[in-house]
Amino acid sequence: MGPIWRALLRNKSSYVLIALQIALTMALMVNAIAIIQERSRLMGRPSGVDEENIFQIYSSSFDPDLEYQSMVAADLDLIRNHPGVVDAVLTNSMPLRQGGWSQGLAIAPGDNSDAVGVAIYFVDEHGVGTFGIDLIAGRNFLPTDVRWFDPDGGPRWPETIILSNAMAMALFPESTAAEVIGRVAYIENNLPVTIIGIIDRMQAPWKEWSGVERSMLVPMKRGDDFARYVVRTETGYRDEVIPQIEKALADRDTGRIIDGAQTMNDVRAAAYLEDSAMIKLLVFIVSLLTAITSLGIVGLASFSVARRTKQIGTRRALGATRRSILRYFMLENFLISTVGVLGGAVLAVAINIWMVQIFALTPIAWYVVPVAMLALWIVGQLAVLGPARRASQVSPATATRSI
Amino acid sequence: MLSMQNISMVYRTETVETHALRDFSLDVEEGEFVSVTGPSGSGKTTFLNIAGLLEGFTSGRYSLDGKDTTQLDDASRSRLRNEKIGFIFQSFNLIPELDIFDNVDVPLRYRGFDSAERRRRIDSVLDMVGLASRKKHLPSQLSGGQQQRVAIARALAGEPRFLLADEPTGNLDSAMADSVMELLEDINSKGTTIIMVTHEPSLAARARRNIFVRDGQLSVEDAGLKVAIGS
Ligand SMILES: Nc1ncnc2c1ncn2[C@@H]1O[C@H](COP(=O)(O)OP(=O)(O)OP(=O)(O)O)[C@@H](O)[C@H]1O
Ligand SMILES: [Mg+2]
């Protein structure tokens, strides 16, 4: 290894560029992996609801004589009794929909108490079952808890609420879920609501929100002409149920448009469209760069083998076996790659520190650096294999035959 | 020691067949200094390459040190070259990016000696060729004669039984050629068998035995050559 290294140093200029290219590829690879891991982690967060079996559908009425409350009652009755449907609910939003309603909730009344922001899902006693969320303490709403919103002077909020565990812990950090049951919180500064249940998890509709795990179920139905139904089906029935429901609703009442049928999977895909596009782009760029680098290695090694044909013949004449010639070029590449990946490791960490500061990215996991080093070492060895094989096939007679 | 029987060597290209050696038979005894002369293209290098196991041959038998080489695989031939044969080339064939020390080290590393043994041998052969002070020089920093001395040191470092030289003085002026020749004679006097191809009649004449190759065949041996070169 000593002489190979010394020979490399004497020809620095021809190898510096490729080492630099390896270093840049490595730096980019590590930081791309860091971004991909970060995005994948965000994308991997569970919404808490039964995503595979849920879809939403809208009804928009244009009939001026519409009896909204009886329309909703009839629609829900129809949907809930449809074969393959588990449950359905009238609601204002769902996780990952990127649009919804939020409100502040405080543990003490008054204009000055600190309110914690929380996403609101208006539901009835079917909300828990429709979203497929788990109650970990307390109870579900009873039909008697649920009321219609009355714009003409009725109470603005019902008396009971169910909180996500994250919201409960944000309000009462010292308590367990069970201890929170029966406690009173205040909405719109002074209106008391009693916490009757805690659900394990249900994300807010906005995936970027720092409080994305804080949500609240409110037993209230509201609306005047637009209705969003969320439906949960038996496993495997979703796709066949959707068109049936669309048709049944449209047939039941013709004074409206049934629209916007969308599975929860599609809602999720739309919410994370940018992230998955980013991941694909990064994978593409890193693969492309790695391919270019390995082509560069192939090119440099081929050139170096061609330039040293006579030297290879001489080494063979002096007793080198084919294996030792092969090993020579593999080892040479390994040394160049090592310089490259070590430089790349330093560069990668520097870029990462900078990105953490500028973009508030989480720092790379320690193992990404050695994994990327290993990957580029392997890429280098594979790239050099062809030229090294050719070198090992150079005839010993080249020593006397070439000028 | 070295025994060739009815060796023939045919190079086939798409258009022509070249009979580089035909029915070539030769025995060289231990300790001999044999010079090989002949016109250009007569097959001298081909003979030397076969003798040095650098290439195979089309038919015949060749045994080296009593061992038939016909069936040997590439790795064993490499080992034989490394252990028994030293090569000296017309254009020196030093490795340009290695210094003198590392150049002489090349065959020793393939031999698998430990570093102390290699250092001892390198110092001793470089001392012998009078270049001990140039260890850290690159080949390009030496004169042609000095480079050839390094090449000789490299050939000798493994203490081979044979030294094969293809026009070792071909690229040197006569003074340098003379000093290289003296070195070879000195080496031969210590027991190493030498076969040397040369175009220089005066150098060929200094060998104890001369062979003349014409058209891939051994022409007239010994006395015959003396006539041919007119000494
Ligand atoms: N690899 C090869 N392929 C085809 N023909 C070859 C090859 N090597 C040598 N020859 C031919 O074999 C013949 C003998 O060549 P060789 O090199 O042995 O001659 P030489 O006596 O060493 O000549 P010179 O004195 O010019 O070095 C020549 O005709 C040459 O063209
Ligand atoms: Mg020749």
At B155-194, the pLDDT tens digits run: 999 999 999 999 988 888 888 888 889 989 999 999 999 9
* Confidence grade of residue B8 (pLDDT, cut at 50, 70, 90): very high
Mean pLDDT of chain A: 92
- The Cα A82–Cα A85 span in angstroms is 6
Tokens linked to A256:
């409206």
Which domains does chain B show, CATH number per domain? 2-219 (3.40.50.300)
Average pLDDT over residues A366-374: 92
Of A3, A324, A396, the CB nearest to B102: A3
CA atoms within 13 A on the CB side of A385: 7
A400–B48 C-beta distance less than 8 A:
yes
- The Cα A216–Cα A209 span in angstroms is 15
**In whole angstroms, how far apart are CA B138 and each of A10, A69, A317, B149?**
10, 97, 21, 14
Tokens linked to B125:
């052969």
Average pLDDT over residues B1-10: 92
Average pLDDT over residues A311-324: 95
The dihedral formed by the CA atoms of B123, B128, B132 and B138, expressed in degrees to the nearest 10: -100
- Tell whether the torsion through CA atoms of A316, A322, A324 and A326 is positive or negative: positive
Structure-model confidence comparison of residues B13 and B225, the more confident one: B13
Write the DSSP assignment of A62-102 as a string of letters.
--TT--HHHHHHHHHHHHHTSTTEEEEEE-S--TTSS--EE
Considering only CA atoms, give the Rg of chain A. 32
Q: Could you tell me which chain A residue has the CA closest to the CA of B156?
A: A318
Residues within 5 A (CB) of ion ligand 2: B 45
Of A6, A322, A403, the CB nearest to B102: A6
CA atoms within 13 A on the CB side of A378: 6
Q: What atom of ligand 1 comes closest to residue B44's alpha carbon?
A: 21
Within chain A, how many helices (H) and strands (E) appear?
13, 12
Q: Which helix (H) or strand (E) holds A136?
A: strand A135-138
A85, β-bridge pairs: A233
User: Residue of the nearest CA to atom 29 in ligand 1?
Assistant: B41
Going from the Cα of B44 to the center of ligand 2, the distance in angstroms, rounded, reads 6
A6–B83 C-beta distance less than 8 A:
no
- The Cα A116–Cα A104 span in angstroms is 5
- The Cα B46–Cα B37 span in angstroms is 13
Listed in sequence order, the residues at least 6 apart from B5 whose beta carbon sits closer than 8 Å to its beta carbon are B25, B60, B61, B62
Residue B17 pLDDT greater than 80, yes or no: yes
A403–B110 C-beta distance less than 8 A:
no
Going from the Cα of B167 to the center of ligand 2, the distance in angstroms, rounded, reads 8
At A231-256, the pLDDT tens digits run: 999 999 999 999 999 999 999 888 88
Average pLDDT over residues B216-231: 56
Mean pLDDT of chain B: 89
Choice among A88-97, A99-108, B112-121, B167-176 with the minimum mean pLDDT: B167-176
- The Cα B51–Cα B48 span in angstroms is 5
| Pocket (CB within 6 angstroms of ligand 1) | B 11, 13, 18, 20, 38, 40-46
Going from the Cα of B157 to the center of ligand 2, the distance in angstroms, rounded, reads 25
Pairing of strands A215-221, A116-123: parallel
**Percent of chain A topping pLDDT 70:** 100
